[in-house]
Amino acid sequence: MKIKVKNLGALKQAEFTLGDLTIICGCNNTGKTYATYALFGFLSTWRRMFAIQINTDKIKQLLADGVIRLDIQEYIKQSEQIVAQGCQAYTQQLPKIFAARAERFKTTDFQVSLDIQNISLAGRFNREIASGEASLFSITKSEESTELVVTLLVEKEKVKIPPDILERIIADALKDIIFDQFLPNPFIASAERTGAAIFRKELNFARNRLLEEMGQTDKNINPRELLFKVYQDYALPVEKNVDFTRELETIFQKSSFIAENHPNVLADFADIIGGKYTVTRNDELYYEPKGKRIKLSMDESSSAVRSLLDIGFYLRHEAQLGDLLMVDEPELNLHPENQRRVARLFAQLVNLGIKVFITTHSDYIIKELNTLIMLNHDKPHLKRIAEEEGYRAGELISSENIKVYIAEEAPIILEGKKRKTKCQTLTSADIDPELGIEARSFDKTIETMNRIQEAIVWGEE
Profile the chain (461 residues) by mean pLDDT over runs of 10 residues. 95 96 93 95 96 92 91 94 97 94 95 90 88 82 92 73 88 95 95 66 52 54 50 79 85 94 96 93 88 89 92 96 96 95 98 97 94 95 95 95 94 79 92 86 82 86 62
Please report, for the chain, the start and end positions of each structural domain, with discontinuous segments joined by +. 192-317
Q: Report pTM.
A: 0.89
Which positions ≥6 away from 268 have C-beta within 8 Å? 341, 344, 345, 348
Whether 8 contacts 34, CB under 8 Å: yes
Whether 25 contacts 363, CB under 8 Å: no
Write down the pLDDT at residue 247.
86
Nearest to 306 by CA among 319, 287, 328, 281: 287
Write down the pLDDT at residue 228.
46
The whole-angstrom separation of Cα 35 and Cα 372 is 26
Whether 344 contacts 267, CB under 8 Å: no
Write down the pLDDT at residue 222.
55
H or E, element range at 437:
strand 436-437
Residues in the chain: 461
The whole-angstrom separation of Cα 441 and Cα 458 is 27
The whole-angstrom separation of Cα 185 and Cα 87 is 17
Write down the pLDDT at residue 220.
56
Measured CA to CA in angstroms, residue 313 lies from 193, 208, 268, 276, 420 at distances of 13, 23, 14, 10, 46
Whether 408 contacts 26, CB under 8 Å: yes
User: 375 forms bridges with which residues in the sheet?
Assistant: none
The whole-angstrom separation of Cα 86 and Cα 14 is 19
DSSP 163: H
Pairing of strands 402-413, 420-428: antiparallel
The whole-angstrom separation of Cα 157 and Cα 367 is 66
